[in-house]
Amino acid sequence: MGDFGPLDHLWYFEYYTGRNVGLFMKIDKMLHSEESKIQRIDIFKNPDLGTVFALDGITMMTDKDEFTYHEMLVHVPMFLHPNPKKVLIIGGGDGGSSREVLKHDSVEKLILCEIDERVTEAAKKYLPLSEVKDDPRLEIVNENGAEFIRKFKNEFDVIIVDSTDPTAGEGGHLFTEEFYKAAHDALKEDGVFSAETEDPFYDFSWLKLAYKRIAKAFPVAKVYMGFVPVYPSGMWTYTFASKKIDPLKDFDPEKVENFDKPLKYYNAEIHKAAFALPNFVKEALEKLKK
């Protein structure tokens, strides 16, 4: 039968939308597993990917490649704002986006709004939140982000939506027209916004729906892309939005070049290149505009 170790029978399977394609990973060690009131939470070790975090059987992050996702989601809007002081992250209970936001010295206050308290408790022990949980600028709020954001008007410099997939847990609340309008209203006049908007292969309908709704809520809305190897297709999209800041015309590469904190993926060239879209994505989004 071959040379099998004691844990070779433990495997994790993720099924992509349609359930005809997916991802599998060996589980070396189970770190945390529970059914919260909202969703199933699993955190385990894989020999190649390190710590893996999944919600309802959908991979949220791995040690190996989470920086590709979190840096693109966070630093595109953070470097476009002239002086980001107050930031709101909705979702992002693992803490990766919080870690990236807090690399910016201008930040005075970061609110992390994660609906599931059990996620943030586990993340403080096993995930990137453990790196920043004691930063005095960070406030963790365990509420429904779609409701929480309505409490604010003209309040934030940057809002980042680090949501689960719209089919997982409570993620669907963060893909509605009402939510994006509330995000617009919660931003200051020079505020900027970014959201993860899924992949263009298995979940293209969600990308198109999110973009259409964000573009309806904001005067400026542009999709950009990056690579996240563990996510479906490895090609991931984000949508930048603002009331008046253009992500290319108003981008200052010197701010990135003079940044003194470590960045493993994002740089000034990547920022500009990320807004160059493949034809099949560009054409689909242009049809939506019409």
Is residue 243 a contact partner of residue 184, using CB atoms and an 8 Å limit? yes
* Domains of the chain as residue ranges with CATH: 11-62 (2.30.140.10), 66-289 (3.40.50.150)
Residue 130 has pLDDT above 70, yes or no: yes
Is residue 228 a contact partner of residue 194, using CB atoms and an 8 Å limit? no
Say which residue the tokens 């071959």 belong to: 2
Confidence band of 290 (pLDDT split at 50, 70, 90): confident
The mean of the pLDDT values for the chain is 94
| pLDDT for position 9 | 82
Say which residue the tokens 């385990």 belong to: 44
Identify the three-state secondary structure at position 220: strand
| pLDDT for position 8 | 75
pTM of the model: 0.94
Active site amino acids: 162
What percent of the chain clears pLDDT 90, i.e. is strictly above it? 90
Express each pLDDT in 52-110 by its tens digit.
Answer: 999 999 999 999 999 999 999 999 999 999 999 999 999 999 999 999 999 999 999 99
To the nearest 10 degrees (0 to 180), the angle between helices 279-289 and 204-217 is: 40
What percent of the chain clears pLDDT 70, i.e. is strictly above it? 94
Helix spans in 60-193 (H): 66-80, 96-101, 117-126, 129-132, 145-148, 177-186
